């Protein structure tokens, strides 16, 4: 009897120590990631939305243009920092941190496609207050399409950069994805798993293998901002990641693409997996969709030639976007 009691006591002590250790590690990781406060912007504004405060910036003057970044806990409006300066020469550029990202609030909720459709709709009506052009990246393209479908009066044109494959958007939550969501939302273990997935080495890996075609173009300052963004509010971004992993943010937009008459333009990099097939599927649903494929398969002979090609491509990219939004 005494041995059983001692064993239970030992197990309880070890479990408590392990839990306390994981808690301390999580706190240390989150505190060290945000210590620079690099995401703070003096010219920032906040829109008090029903699910939390939404951070945004305004630059330039002219016709309104809303920039929507891709969706991940590490993402934020800083993704547009170079491009928005160019666009602000001819437009009033609104750059928003989506709910759960950047300096916007990160409520402990299930994030869905419809949630972001509501956010975009309400933001345009309450802040911009007139029909606007929308420039999106990745998953946010689906939100803009659905917002336009629900209210065609708020959006003039949509330009999507590397939009999510329609086959991916057709996915719905299943038993495995729901289990992954449950695991990530656990208080200690879930937070530890989230911190590992969003560790600095994994952020670096994402830049070299996913975000940038050429690893020599990695911007360490931008990596720092991604790392900080993913750990704001004590790692509350795990609830967004859980919703993404659980497939709650996907939505079949095929019907919306067929029915809306607004101008839609797709800009895709040819190094993206299934890039041509993805664009072809979009245009098969709505033949009026225009598209442009950016060639990125170039092997530089030296670092200097790499930079020259990079800036030439970037300049062409700016010019292309400006010509589209000014049409």
109 vs 211, more confident: 109
Averaged pLDDT of the chain: 81
156 vs 221, more confident: 156
Q: How confident is the model at residue 311 (pLDDT cuts 50, 70, 90)?
A: very low
Q: What is the predicted pLDDT for the residue at 192?
A: 85
d(CA 61, CA 227): 32
Q: What is the predicted pLDDT for the residue at 310?
A: 37
Q: How confident is the model at residue 306 (pLDDT cuts 50, 70, 90)?
A: very low
Given a cut of 90, is residue 18 above it in pLDDT?
Answer: no
Mapping DSSP to helix (H, G, I), strand (E, B) and coil, where does residue 173 land? coil
Q: What is the predicted pLDDT for the residue at 268?
A: 87
**Tens digits of residue pLDDT in 163-217:** 999 999 999 999 999 999 999 999 888 888 888 888 887 787 777 666 665 555 6
Q: What is the predicted pLDDT for the residue at 205?
A: 76
Q: What is the pTM of this model?
A: 0.82
Of 125, 112, 104, the residue nearest 45 (C-alpha): 104
Question: Which tokens hold the place of 5?
Answer: 């009691």
Q: What is the predicted pLDDT for the residue at 276?
A: 87
> Cα–chain-centroid distance for residue 2?
56
DSSP single-letter state for residue 263: E
Q: What is the predicted pLDDT for the residue at 309?
A: 38
Share of the chain above pLDDT 70, in %: 73
**Tens digits of residue pLDDT in 158-170:** 999 999 999 999 9
Q: What is the predicted pLDDT for the residue at 326?
A: 56
133 vs 294, more confident: 133
Q: What is the predicted pLDDT for the residue at 314?
A: 43
d(CA 138, CA 298): 23
Q: Are 84 and 67 in contact (CB under 8 A)?
A: yes
Q: What domains, with CATH codes, occur in the chain?
A: 44-174+249-295+303-325 (3.40.50.1820)
Given a cut of 70, is residue 29 above it in pLDDT?
Answer: no
Task: For the beta carbon of residue 312, count every other beta carbon within 10 angstroms.
Answer: 10
d(CA 9, CA 3): 10
DSSP single-letter state for residue 97: P
> What's the average model confidence in pLDDT over 222-230?
81
**Tens digits of residue pLDDT in 48-75:** 999 999 999 999 999 999 999 999 999 9
Of 261, 262, 258, 267, the residue nearest 293 (C-alpha): 267
Most confidently modeled of 11-15, 176-180, 219-223, 313-317?
Answer: 176-180
Helix (H) or strand (E) holding 169: helix 166-169
């Amino acid at each position: 009897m005494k041995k059983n009691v001692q064993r239970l006591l030992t197990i309880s002590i070890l479990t408590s120590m392990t839990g306390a250790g994981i808690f301390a590690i999580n706190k240390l990781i989150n505190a060290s990631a945000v210590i620079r406060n690099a995401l703070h912007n003096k010219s920032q504004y906040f829109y008090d939305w029903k699910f939390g405060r939404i951070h945004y910036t305004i630059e330039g003057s002219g016709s309104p243009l809303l920039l929507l970044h891709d969706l991940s806990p590490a993402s934020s409006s800083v993704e547009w920092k170079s491009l928005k300066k160019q666009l602000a020469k001819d437009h009033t550029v609104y750059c928003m941190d989506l709910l759960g990202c950047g300096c916007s609030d990160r409520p402990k909720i299930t994030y869905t496609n419809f949630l972001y459709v509501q956010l975009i709709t309400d933001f345009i009506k309450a802040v911009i207050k007139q029909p606007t052009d929308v420039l999106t990246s990745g998953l946010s393209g689906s939100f803009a399409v659905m917002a336009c479908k629900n209210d065609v009066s708020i959006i003039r044109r949509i330009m999507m950069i590397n939009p999510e494959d329609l086959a991916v958007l057709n996915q719905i939550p299943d038993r495995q994805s729901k289990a992954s969501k449950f695991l990530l939302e656990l208080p200690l273990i879930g937070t530890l798993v989230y911190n590992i997935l969003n560790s600095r080495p994994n952020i670096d890996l994402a830049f070299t293998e996913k975000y940038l075609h050429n690893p020599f173009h990695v911007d360490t300052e931008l990596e720092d901002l991604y790392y900080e963004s993913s750990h704001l509010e004590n790692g509350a971004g795990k609830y967004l990641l859980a919703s993404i992993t659980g497939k709650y943010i996907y939505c079949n937009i095929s019907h919306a693409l067929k029915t809306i008459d607004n101008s839609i333009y797709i800009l895709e990099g040819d190094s993206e997996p299934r890039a041509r097939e993805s664009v072809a599927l979009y245009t098969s649903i709505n033949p009026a969709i225009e598209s442009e494929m950016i060639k990125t398969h170039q092997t530089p002979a030296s670092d200097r030639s790499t930079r020259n090609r990079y800036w030439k491509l970037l300049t062409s990219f700016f010019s292309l976007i400006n010509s589209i939004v000014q049409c």
